[in-house]
Amino acid sequence: MSDPNSPNRFNEETATFAVRGAETPDLDAGVAAIRNVLKTLPARPGVYRMQDARGDVLYVGKARALKNRVTNYTQVMRLSKRLQRMVAQTRSMTIVTTNNEAEALLLEAQLIKRFRPPYNVLLRDDKSFPFILLRRDHEFARIQLHRGARKAKGDYFGPFAGAGQVRKTLNALQKLFLLRSCTDSFFNTRDRPCLLYQIRRCSAPCVDRIAPEAYGELVDDARDFLMGKSTKVQAKLGVQMQDAAENLDFELAAILRDRLKALTFIQGSQAINAEGVGDADIFALANKSGVMGIQAFFIRGGQNWGHRSFFPAHTNDVSEDEVLAAFLMQFYEEVPPPRTIFVDRNLEEAALLAEALRERAGHKVALGVPQRGPRRRLLDQAKRNAVEALDRRLAEGTTQAKLLAEVADLFELPEPPERIEVYDNSHIQGTNALGAMVVAGPEGFQKNQYRKFNIKRAETKPGDDYAMMREVLTRRFARAVEEDPDRQGGTWPDLVLLDGGRGQLNAAKAVLEELGIEDVCMVGVAKGPHHGREGREVFHLMDGRELMLPVNSPLLFYLQRLRDEVHRFAIGAHREKRAKAIGASPLDEVPGIGPARKKALLMHFGTARAVRSASLEDLQKAPGVSAGVAQQVYDYFHAR
């Protein structure tokens, strides 16, 4: 899809209109701002953004006729309470016109993903989906798990519901097709087969144990299998095994037998019978007590590639059809649409959705409700799964709500916390020090809110845990005071847990006092008198009291889980930082030296120390290094 800001795609008639003044929600001021926009608004397709006094996006909407759609927001008595609150916060609008309504729908999904407005239905799960990638940028194709942008040349098969499903399939595919999974650098340095060859999971093309033509045939078989032509591959292997047995080549026959077993395993692991369906995604929505869940099945080449549950946010006072339509557009913002999409209801905008997805995919997309046959049975199964997943979600939510109520009672909070922040530091004798913050709430851990803080202030002495905690919390809350002084953005914590005892808590209290913050509850979580024994944690309160919970208390297990999560995140971030530091070189800091020239210098001189001590004449002799670059390197190390 092309850039939404490109003049070749949209007729950009973007303008922002605002009413200055009121900073607090005011219905009259919001209506006045919208009416100000209506004076110059065209009756054309497009997208509108409603913004508050600070310019934060409240809502993104699309319209076939912008003027008609936006006019509805001035008729406040016809709006739901949710939309009335949104209008009361609105102080400006941004308008972008498009060529047609399908383009407006595509742009709306992009902007919702970028801004995540509080009044739009949001797809909660922002993880990228895993694919199987069969790379074609090497003579011997590599098969691997892939996430993210599809930039590498090759064939992508997916999406799969999760990485576990991909790894299980890759494991079986290695046994079946013996394709390499190693990186190109590893491949190029081999002089003998690796362990995968010994256990019959690779054909060792790196050391010429298989001819390029034979390997290419394996690649074609793997591609056919992943495209759903498993019967063809199975018949071919069966014939080869029979021929080997007739020729008394029992070793080859045994290898082919094992490959057939791997094929049977993959076919047998399909918990959903999708034979004859081809490429399709199936979605069903369940709604209970105002909470909505969507179940998705992914079928490719008649094979089940897993299923996943989604629970969209901001669905109060929104119809089921609108939630499902918004979900589909946001879901396919990341995932390429298949040719067929089945849903459990007739959507009013089905034709528009199909047109927009066709434009995104570059091929025809059919969107509909199957009525009979295997497609209908799959949809019914998706509907049952949607209801069951929603029931589990509601049960988990009830347990979580009870735990948060107990947290509020334990720490004397006015109400159950909506946002809990947990902090920890990690370092080795003061080196590569950093702080970590994890966030939890009624819906569990909010991993998109996790933060790392590199310890970088000169006054923070290496190894001083108290000073590191002061730096982390000072930066965190100073920014909160600056960016959200009115605490309307939902980013202020109701409870802060610190991995540490009285010392860390005193350091944190000093930070709050310096910033003039008096109403944030902080608790230190220490190991207690018996270090290393779970269940003996001591909770240090700001008023000097200390609390302990029974060793079998569910509340204690919950608080331990919070503490363990920040510990895990901090250690992982520290290891990542330490690994980068190990691979760092003095050449990284030299202006004008990129990876290629750095490699050329190191290959020529052997070490960064030798580069540092080299003469200008020696530097100029290095391959790929011009006289100007050599002068830069020499000046960097010698002219200071």
417-436: average pLDDT: 82
The pLDDT assigned to 352 comes to 93
The pLDDT assigned to 455 comes to 81
The pLDDT assigned to 621 comes to 77
How many whole angstroms separate alpha carbon 281 and alpha carbon 277?
10
Least Cα distance to 32 among 47, 10, 44, 17 occurs for 17
The pLDDT assigned to 539 comes to 92
Residue 408's pLDDT band, with cuts at 50, 70 and 90, is: very high
Question: For 255-289, b where at least 16 C-beta lie within 10 A, e where not — what string?
Answer: bbeebbebbeebeeeeebebeebebbbbbbbbeee
- Please list the alpha-helical segments (H only) found in 39-121: 66-71, 81-89, 101-115
Per-chain mean pLDDT for the chain: 82
The pLDDT assigned to 57 comes to 93
- Which residues lie below 8 Å from residue 515, measured CB to CB, with a gap of 6+? 474, 477, 478, 481
Percent of the chain whose predicted confidence (pLDDT) is above 70: 86
The pLDDT assigned to 189 comes to 85
Q: pTM for the whole thing?
A: 0.68
356-378: average pLDDT: 89
Reported CATH class of domain 420-581: alpha beta
Is the pLDDT confidence value at 12 over 70?
no
pLDDT in tens, 481-539: 888 887 777 789 999 999 888 888 999 999 998 888 888 999 999 876 655 455 578 99
The pLDDT assigned to 185 comes to 84
- Strand order in 92-97's β-sheet? 15-18, 92-97, 46-51, 57-63
Select from 3.40.720.10, 3.40.50.720, 3.40.1440.10, 3.40.50.2020 the CATH code of 15-115: 3.40.1440.10
Residue 400's pLDDT band, with cuts at 50, 70 and 90, is: confident
Encode 244-278 in three state secondary structure.
HHHCCCHHHHHHHHHHHHHHHHHHHCCCCCCCCCC
How many angstroms from the chain centroid is the CA of residue 445? 14
Q: Which amino acid is at 496?
A: V
The pLDDT assigned to 578 comes to 67
Residue 90's pLDDT band, with cuts at 50, 70 and 90, is: very high
Least Cα distance to 14 among 105, 97, 99, 98 occurs for 97
566-580: average pLDDT: 80
- Which residues lie below 8 Å from residue 222, measured CB to CB, with a gap of 6+? 134, 143, 173, 176, 177, 179
The residue to which tokens 């049952």 are assigned: 384
The pLDDT assigned to 266 comes to 58
The pLDDT assigned to 21 comes to 40
Q: Which fold has domain 280-391?
A: Nucleotidyltransferase; domain 5 (3.30.420)
Token representation of residue 377: 């049975």
The pLDDT assigned to 123 comes to 84
- Please list the alpha-helical segments (H only) found in 490-553: 502-515
The pLDDT assigned to 536 comes to 77
Residue 242's pLDDT band, with cuts at 50, 70 and 90, is: confident
Is the pLDDT confidence value at 264 over 90?
no
How many whole angstroms separate alpha carbon 219 and alpha carbon 532?
52
Residue 23's pLDDT band, with cuts at 50, 70 and 90, is: very low
Is the pLDDT confidence value at 267 over 70?
no
Q: How many angstroms separate the first and last alpha carbons of the chain?
A: 50
| DSSP β-bridge partners for residue 454 | 434
Least Cα distance to 305 among 145, 176, 177, 182 occurs for 145
Task: Give residue limits of the domains in the chain.
Answer: 15-115, 131-268, 280-391, 420-581, 586-638
CB 288, CB 216: distance < 8 Å: no
Is the pLDDT confidence value at 9 over 60?
no
How many whole angstroms separate alpha carbon 526 and alpha carbon 469?
15
Maximal CA-CA distance, the chain: 90
Token representation of residue 40: 């110059």
The pLDDT assigned to 301 comes to 76
Is the pLDDT confidence value at 412 over 70?
yes
Assess whether the region 280-391 and the region 420-581 belong to the same CATH fold.
yes
The pLDDT assigned to 5 comes to 43
Of the candidate ranges 142-146, 381-385, 532-536, the one whose mean pLDDT is the lowest: 532-536
131-139: average pLDDT: 88
Phi and psi torsions of 273, nearest 5° = -80, 110
- What dotted CATH number matches 586-638? 1.10.150.20
Phi and psi torsions of 100, nearest 5° = -155, 175
User: Rounded to 10 degrees, what is the CA torsion of 622, 623, 624, 629?
Assistant: 10
Residue 8's pLDDT band, with cuts at 50, 70 and 90, is: very low
CB 136, CB 154: distance < 8 Å: yes
Least Cα distance to 506 among 522, 529, 527, 528 occurs for 522
How many whole angstroms separate alpha carbon 280 and alpha carbon 299?
5
More confident residue, 532 or 110: 110
The pLDDT assigned to 283 comes to 95
